[in-house]
Amino acid sequence: MDCIFCKIINKEIPSEFIYEDDKVVVFKDLNPQAPVHLLIVPKEHIESNEYINESNSDIVGHVFAVANKVAKESGLENGYRIVNNCKEDGGQSVNHIHFHLIGGRQMLWPPG
């Protein structure tokens, strides 16, 4: 499967993991939008949030728990934002579900 995030997870492409467990990896976004911009990526290849349902939604709770842990370790005591872009209108560019953990500056609302 030609998926860039699967290749990173499988260590076919070198990447420095901030965190890894049996379900997710966390690494720095290549094109950071804030002083801290990490990607939390489930190891299972799920294309987007469109494919999250009652049978596999546990992973989302795990992602949020990991986000809290790595946010603290990244100095984001003052807060942060978690973003999931879903499909074309959501601005998704990599079709492997992932969650942006962004912080280190004041976030704007509404987002662009």
Q: Which of the residues 37, 62, 96, 98 is marked catalytic? A: 98
Using CB under 6 A as the criterion, what x/- string covers residues 1-40 for binding ligand AMP?
Answer: ---x------------------------xxx-------x-
Cα(16)–Cα(48) distance, integer angstroms: 23
Q: Please, what is the minimum distance in Å from the beta carbon of residue 18 to ligand AMP?
A: 12
Length of the chain: 112
The verdict on 86 binding ligand AMP (CB under 6 A) reads: no
Q: How far is CA 42 from CA 22, 78, 111, in A?
A: 9, 26, 24
Stretch that binds ligand AMP, among 16-24, 60-68, 71-79, 84-92 (CB under 6 A): 84-92
Nearer to ligand AMP, 79 or 90 (CB): 90
The answer to whether 66 touches 40, Cβ cutoff 8 Å, is yes
Structure tokens at 91: 């601005």
Cα(31)–Cα(62) distance, integer angstroms: 25
Verify whether residue 100 is a known catalytic residue: no
Residues near ligand AMP (CB under 6 A), total:
10
The answer to whether 70 touches 38, Cβ cutoff 8 Å, is yes
Contact residues: ligand AMP, CB under 6 A: 4, 29-31, 39, 85, 91-94
Query: Catalytic site residues?
Result: 98
